[in-house]
Amino acid sequence: MRPPVDLSEVVVNYGLSSEPPPSNVATWFQGEAAKKGSSSGGGGGDDSVLRVSTATTMAGVLAQLWEGVMPRDETEALAPPQQVYIFFPQCEALAEPDMLSKLVDHLETCKDVCDHFGSSVMAFPLDPRAPLDHPAYGPVPGIMLRRF
């Protein structure tokens, strides 16, 4: 029989990086925030959050996305941000031509069994292969979660 294990100091890491985002992602995000600020009259009501994931597998990507849909952090769960941009620069699978669309298709099927996703939270793909001026463009593969 195994001795009991003390898990009190275990920190679960679901792939969020504590490092600053890559410069191309940070620059793109700041540009998007500036465009929204100028288009909304500069009222400053933009509630957007940038997250750069260290997920390398699709399982890690899905865990990160669901954390964005239903935050476990109590403070964030009480007042979740209106938009969350989650980028996955280390997930090579998302660089494959159809994988991002397959991920979005999978998320579409999840709407039927999730209380918030699909009704008050929507997911939009961010793809580096999209034209630079297209709303679906992102510097690396990612997903934007938007609350309504």
Mapped onto helix, strand or coil, the DSSP state of residue 39 is helix
pLDDT given at position 18? 53
Q: Distance between CA atoms of 5 and 77, rounded to whole angstroms?
A: 30
**What is the C-alpha to C-alpha distance for residues 64 and 135, in angstroms, rounded to an integer?**
22
Return the number of other C-beta atoms located less than 10 Å from residue 61's C-beta: 24
Neighbours of 11 (CB within 10 A): 4
pTM of the entire predicted model: 0.74
Instruction: Express each pLDDT in 11-47 by its tens digit.
Output: 444 455 555 566 777 777 777 766 655 443 333 345 8
CA dihedral 84, 87, 119, 72 (to 10 degrees): -70
Cα gap 48→80, rounded to integer Å? 10
From residue 100, how far is each of 18, 36, 87, 106, 108 by CA, in Å? Answer: 24, 25, 12, 10, 12
Distance CA 133, CA 27 (A): 15
- Cα separation of 113 and 95, whole Å? 28
What pLDDT, in 10s, does the model give residues 46-100?
A: 588 888 998 999 999 999 998 888 888 888 878 888 899 999 999 999 989 899 9
Rg, C-alpha atoms of the chain: 17
